[in-house]
Amino acid sequence: MNTLAVVFEQPQQLSVRTLELVPASETDVLVAMRWSGISTGTEKLLYSGRMPPFPGLAYPLVPGYEGVGEIIEAGAASGRTVGQLVYVAGSRGFTDAHGLFGGQAARVVVAGAKTVPLRADLGERGTLFALAATAHHALGDTPSETDLQMPELIVGHGALGRLIARLVVMYGAPTPTVWETNPIRMDGARGYPVMHPDEDPRRNYRTICDVSGADGLLDTLIARLAPGGEICLAGFYSEPVHFTFPPAFLREARFRIAAQWKERDLQAIATFANEGRLDLNGLITHREPAAHAAAAYETAFGDPHCVKMILDWRPAA
């Protein structure tokens, strides 16, 4: 079976073309994609060619792990039924391109167990599940809600920073402060203040979560820590991370890195969203038909007004 897909032919070269899906097994489902999100982290690294080498990384490749679609075929042992709306974190791939992660396509084959059922009215907002799971993981790698590390300061008011702030508010923790230096990104707050760092006099934050990925920021953040405070690095840092030791020493600063979300983070987000506890409204700011993927990626990667871009695959179904 063939499908239309976004293909990174090589770094800086994108096409939308037909590929052949891998055969489906009894444990797989065939999903007709409705919407897929563009990741400005992983996909930007793959597109630019700056992704650190890892097994299986090669071009041409199909990116994407933020999909929502309808199951149109279900294997007998897939555990899913035809007609279900599901979140899809990628696919099992294609015969004529690498699938990293293989979700940017009109149709995908994926293990039924790897799909997450959605409440029907969530629609395109389900594409935010992976990003929300990443935000949840930044609160701490623990199965216990009582052990989560709720940040008092969040640095960066992009989509990830907004989701972390919303989760902190949802959990009923003390209201976080969010720093943002770009005036375009100041709006969109829901239950928490957003300010320029120069407007914030506080210097005793116990937990700071940085999602900006900005170079040379650690000394500024260390100066705002309370003694024994923690800085969580939840962005992606393309340059070496460094800091001046004496101020960190005097504060006995602690550092934590939040990496890939885990299955329990995704399941937690699915529960929160399906129950209506987590507000996912207002985060998707831009939409383009999948046929216009080249322009959509350019906007997603370069326009500060774009908090989240999604591709609409329905015309290609």
Burial of residue 189 (number of CB atoms within 10 Å: 0-12, 13-18, 19+): middle
What is the pLDDT at residue 226? 98
Can you list the alpha helix ranges (DSSP code H) found in the chain? 42-48, 129-138, 159-170, 218-222, 245-251, 263-274, 293-302
Predicted local confidence at residue 143, as pLDDT? 62
Whether residue 212 contacts residue 162, with contact meaning beta carbons closer than 8 Å, is answered with no
Q: Is 283 helix (H, G, I), strand (E, B) or coil?
A: coil
Confidence of residue 316 (pLDDT cuts 50, 70, 90): confident
| β-strand partners of 36 | 67, 311
Q: Considering only the C-alpha atoms of the chain, give the largest distance between any 2 of them, rounded to a whole number of Å.
A: 62
Which of the four pLDDT bands, split at 50, 70 and 90, describes residue 317?
low
Over the stretch 117-134, which tens digit does the pLDDT of each residue have? Answer: 999 999 999 999 999 999
Domain extent listing, the chain = 2-117+285-316, 132-257
Homologous superfamily of 2-117+285-316 = Medium-chain alcohol dehydrogenases, catalytic domain (3.90.180.10)
DSSP label at residue 186: S
Q: Which residues contact 147 (CB under 8 A, 6 or more apart)?
A: 140
Identical fold, 2-117+285-316 and 132-257:
no
Judge if pTM exceeds 0.75.
yes
pLDDT at 238: 78
CATH, range 132-257: 3.40.50.720
